A and B are shown apart, each in its own frame.
Chain A
Amino acid sequence: MKEYKGKRIVKGSSQLHQKIEKSQLDVISAPCILCPHSFSFLGDIDSHSGKITRIDSPCKDMYISQQILAFTASKGSSSGCVILSSLAKQGKGPMAIITMQPADYNLVEGAILGGIPFIAEVDPKFFEEIQTGMQIKIQEGVCTLLEEKVLEYK
């Protein structure tokens, strides 16, 4: 299995607001949602349900809960941090976030508060290999494609 390097920004934690050193999630394996565009947590997603609402996104109507959310870069309003941590509080946040571009400070604040692992600057080749519904694994700062079969999205 090919491994692709990224930069681990937030380790993540299993429980909300728990200090990240105490309960670190070493390995996360989940299906991914690949948004082949930059992503704004204000406007591109429903802040209560975690459903992607952006009209021109191929991921429209998908829920990010229990998925690893992958997008190129974050953009837009600084409310993004509030929405991400709010989703995490409700248990509707993603299992992890991976991005191609360097991490956005605003979103990282939301990820720390929500205990969501965040890997940035992931090798762009990884984004070419994965599709929405494929099972991927992240460990430390390394991303791996586990299963090329695309799971039917529910």
Chain B
Amino acid sequence: MKLTEYENRMLQGEYGPICAEALDYLVQFGDAFGAEKLIDISYSHYPAEMAIYDGFCEDVEHYANQGIQVAIPTTSSTLCCDLEDPSLTNCPSYLSNLQEKTKHAFRKMGILQTFTCTPQQIGFVPPMGSYISSVESSAIIYFNSVVGARTNRGGLFTRYSSVTGKYPAMGYLLDENRVPSCYCEVSIDPNYLTRLDQWSVLGYLIGEYAQDQVPYINSSKKYKPTMSQLVSLGAAMATSGSVTLFHWKGITPEATQYETSSLKHLPHLFISEKEMMETQEKFTEIQENQPIDFVVLGCPHANLSMIQYIAEKIEGRIIHENVTFWVCTNRMTKLQASNLGFTQKLERAGVRLIADTCPVESHMRSNICTRHGIPFPCYQTMISNSLKMLHYSRNLLGVKPALLSTDQCIESAIQGKRVSIYWKKDGCNERI
């Protein structure tokens, strides 16, 4: 790999041993994929160093104690509990105390304590074409596809990018790897694509087919997805597959570079309402009228309009006594929700507005429960509007899943049982 004079000086230790080590790792990483040089990046979304993984909090604490600071604006991903009120998720104090170390370490390093999987929803929207380094598969696919920024599926090396401001020129940072490599024809009545659960199902189907390819999506129908719907779509694609970038004619910015007719020779997937309903059924193991005990909305983390929607829907009603209802978001949005009175409406109904975390990232995983003597599973069932949440929770939390619309999730929580599922648009626009 060819390095600049500045990079060489960094590698020689002129800017300290931590930067030298970080750059060394990035060079090794780039060499593994044949990268020719390093690129300057302008933003980084950093992994959370969660307490549920052994040694990670201590590791980042040690790292921060060496006096290193991030070189570029850096946000941070989710934790294993709501750090401001760990009792909201019943997190064992051992874990929340350990997780506190992360907060202090991040502060020392200059990392913003955003603790969210959707930094794009709190204003971190890098300019189109900019190079960034990000963790969190749902944010990565959103940045690449909807925003047009460039990142690979980042992991722990985001740390090294954050402190050096560098990333190897490879993968989705390069034009040649952003070209569509498979084709998806979506033929769904727009009335079937009005809710988050439906966008989630569509994404899951595309991801299952595309795996690590770049899908080009086309449709003769017109859709006008909201930001939340595109977040759900991408999150599901990056769950059933490892899709990092998709193009959708008329929706995503880079799709305009391609002529649909010239892509029709690519491997093809056709999606209609039939495939959508089959997938929805696959994730609905709870029968109608069966009692439920856990409802989760906000995967990926809810934005302010979703919280507003849920708060207004549930205002004046109370959830069933056997049901725990989480709405997951980040701490900034929670603060805004409180200022606008949404949090209070949710709390009066018995709904918990959770910041910093989500069930999948929490102590409720089987291995953590076993270690801390917590009866497993913590809940028998889970109702959600997110296939990503249900996909991971089925295995990690041992719950029986059911995929419902946001309205049906709320109604089920109030009745304490799974309500009937209707698939067509019922005249109600979710406005999320």
Please give the residue numbers on chain A whose beta carbons come within 8 Å of chain B beta carbons, in ascending order: 9-10, 19-20, 38, 42-44, 46-49, 53-55, 73-83, 85-86, 89-90, 101-110, 112-113
Q: Determine the chain A residues whose CB is within 8 A of the CB of B238 once the complex forms.
A: 76-77
With the chains together, A77 CA to B365 CA distance in Å?
Answer: 15
- Docked-complex contact A55 and B394, CB < 8 angstroms: yes
Closest B-chain residue to A86, C-beta based? B53
Closest A-chain residue to B396, C-beta based? A43
- Docked-complex contact A106 and B153, CB < 8 angstroms: yes
Q: Determine the chain A residues whose CB is within 8 A of the CB of B154 once the complex forms.
A: 78, 105-106, 109
Check: B305 CB closer than 8 A to any chain A CB: no
Question: Interface readout for B135-148 with A: 1 if CB under 8 Å, 0 if not?
Answer: 11100100000000
Q: Determine the chain A residues whose CB is within 8 A of the CB of B396 once the complex forms.
A: 42-43
- Docked-complex contact A10 and B367, CB < 8 angstroms: no
Check: B127 CB closer than 8 A to any chain A CB: no
Q: Beyond A38-B211, A42-B392, A53-B395, is A110–B54 a contact (Cβ under 8 Å)?
A: no
With the chains together, A108 CA to B28 CA distance in Å?
Answer: 11
B15 to chain A, nearest CB (A): 19
- Docked-complex contact A82 and B54, CB < 8 angstroms: no
Please give the residue numbers on chain B whose beta carbons come within 8 Å of chain A beta carbons, in ascending order: 24-25, 28-29, 32-33, 47, 50, 52-56, 135-137, 140, 152-157, 170-171, 207, 211-212, 238-242, 360, 365-367, 371, 391-392, 394-396
A108 to chain B, nearest CB (A): 6
- Docked-complex contact B212 and A108, CB < 8 angstroms: no
B370 to chain A, nearest CB (A): 8
With the chains together, A2 CA to B240 CA distance in Å?
Answer: 34
With the chains together, A78 CA to B170 CA distance in Å?
Answer: 18
- Docked-complex contact B54 and A104, CB < 8 angstroms: no
Closest B-chain residue to A74, C-beta based? B242
- Docked-complex contact A78 and B155, CB < 8 angstroms: yes
Neighbour of A19 across the interface among B24, B136, B365, CB < 8 A: B24
Q: Determine the chain A residues whose CB is within 8 A of the CB of B50 once the complex forms.
A: 82
In addition to A48-B54, A55-B394, A81-B156, 12 A-B residue pairs with Cβ atoms within 8 Å of each other are A9-B33, A38-B211, A42-B392, A44-B395, A46-B366, A47-B53, A48-B371, A78-B47, A78-B136, A86-B55, A106-B152, A109-B156
A96 to chain B, nearest CB (A): 14
B320 to chain A, nearest CB (A): 29
Q: Beyond A43-B396, A75-B212, A112-B25, is A82–B53 a contact (Cβ under 8 Å)?
A: yes
With the chains together, A44 CA to B171 CA distance in Å?
Answer: 25
Closest A-chain residue to B170, C-beta based? A105
Q: Determine the chain A residues whose CB is within 8 A of the CB of B55 once the complex forms.
A: 86, 89
Neighbour of B29 across the interface among A19, A48, A89, A108, CB < 8 A: A108
Q: Determine the chain B residues whose CB is within 8 A of the CB of A83 once the complex forms.
A: 53
- Docked-complex contact B395 and A75, CB < 8 angstroms: no
With the chains together, A106 CA to B242 CA distance in Å?
Answer: 10
In the assembled complex, 18 residue pairs joining A and B whose CB atoms fall closer than 8 Å, in A order, are A42-B396, A43-B391, A43-B395, A44-B395, A46-B367, A53-B395, A76-B242, A77-B239, A77-B392, A78-B153, A82-B47, A83-B53, A104-B212, A105-B153, A106-B154, A110-B156, A112-B28, A112-B29
With the chains together, A112 CA to B29 CA distance in Å?
Answer: 8
Q: Determine the chain A residues whose CB is within 8 A of the CB of B365 once the complex forms.
A: 47
Q: Beyond A43-B396, A81-B156, is A49–B56 a contact (Cβ under 8 Å)?
A: no
Taking each of A44, A104, A113, which has the highest tally of chain B beta carbons within 10 Å of its own beta carbon?
A104
With the chains together, A122 CA to B135 CA distance in Å?
Answer: 27
Closest A-chain residue to B395, C-beta based? A43
With the chains together, A79 CA to B48 CA distance in Å?
Answer: 10
